[in-house]
Amino acid sequence: GENVEQHPSTLSVQEGDSAVIKCTYSDSASNYFPWYKQELGKRPQLIIDIRSNVGEKKDQRIAVTLNKTAKHFSLHITETQPEDSAVYFCAASRPNEKLTFGTGTRLTIIP
Amino acid sequence: DSGVTQTPKHLITATGQRVTLRCSPRSGDLSVYWYQQSLDQGLQFLIQYYNGEERAKGNILERFSAQQFPDLHSELNLSSLELGDSALYFCASSVDVGVNSPLHFGNGTRLTVT
């Protein structure tokens, strides 16, 4: 089955700087890659997703890039703000199969 | 609000007991997933149902069972509870299976076993 590795497990950045979280996946047939944000004590929420026919997708300060050849995808957050502090999960899925989640990255924004 | 409803929000029970967690998916969603999240841990996939039938199984203990009813709501039954079962249990739903439908999570049930 699919295996997703996520790095780093923790990340601290100064407010206003950029943050990058990276994930690798094992199954070349995977074609859907969402990112979820989970604030403390709350439910995971989808923040952005990308499909394998697209190399990059942006939504305001958030962007995701996908390298199918290398089988990795990354989340980029620019101009970080205190409210960006949370745990971020990447995930991947093959067609007709469930999502496999990464182990999560705890992002802390330092004021 | 994700549209996924989980009850109860909190549950405190003793070791050896049995509890039932309930989930109502978003209107129109046919697939329901259950995840376990222990303190400061990731999302451990337990089981998935699609339109009443089991679709995929993760690391679900034999003491745990689940089902999806004709009205598409789902229940997760946890029996012979142990201290290590204390966790946040999330239900998620999606429109379909295998069409890359985003998962929508409920607010979770926090289970404390004493």
Q: What is the pLDDT of residues A58-93, one digit of tens each?
A: 999 999 999 999 999 999 999 999 999 999 999 999
A54/B24 Cα distance (integer angstroms): 33
pLDDT (0 to 100) of residue A90: 97
Identify the three-state secondary structure at position A82: helix
Of A94, A92, A86, nearest to A74 (Cα)?
A: A92
- In the stretch 13-42 of chain B, residues with CB closer than 8 A to chain A read 33, 42
DSSP state of B26: P
DSSP B79-107: -S--GGG-EEEEEEEESSSSS-PPPEE--
- Which positions in chain B touch A97 (Cβ < 8 Å)? 56, 97-98
Cβ atoms of B10 and B110 within 8 Å: the answer is yes
Of B97, B98, B107, the CB nearest to A43: B107
pLDDT at A24 over 90: yes
pLDDT (0 to 100) of residue A17: 98
CB contact under 8 A, B45 and A89: no
Q: B12 vs A3, B3, B89, CA distance in Å?
A: 34, 25, 13
Residue B75: CA atoms inside 13 Å, Cβ hemisphere, count?
9
CB contact under 8 A, A49 and B102: yes
B98/A59 Cα distance (integer angstroms): 25
A44, closest residue in chain B (CA to CA):
B105
Q: What is the pLDDT of residues A28-54, one digit of tens each?
A: 999 999 999 999 989 999 999 999 888
Furthest C-alpha separation in chain B: 41
pLDDT (0 to 100) of residue A37: 98
Give the position of tokens 């249990």: B89
pLDDT (0 to 100) of residue A45: 96
Of A44, A93, A95, the CB nearest to B43: A44
Nearest chain B CA: its distance from A53 CA (Å): 13
Of B2, B48, B102, the CB nearest to A98: B48
Mean pLDDT by 10 residues, chain B (114 residues): 94 98 96 92 92 92 96 97 97 81 94 97
B66/A102 Cα distance (integer angstroms): 24
Nearest chain B CA: its distance from A13 CA (Å): 20
Of A43, A49, A104, the CB nearest to B105: A43
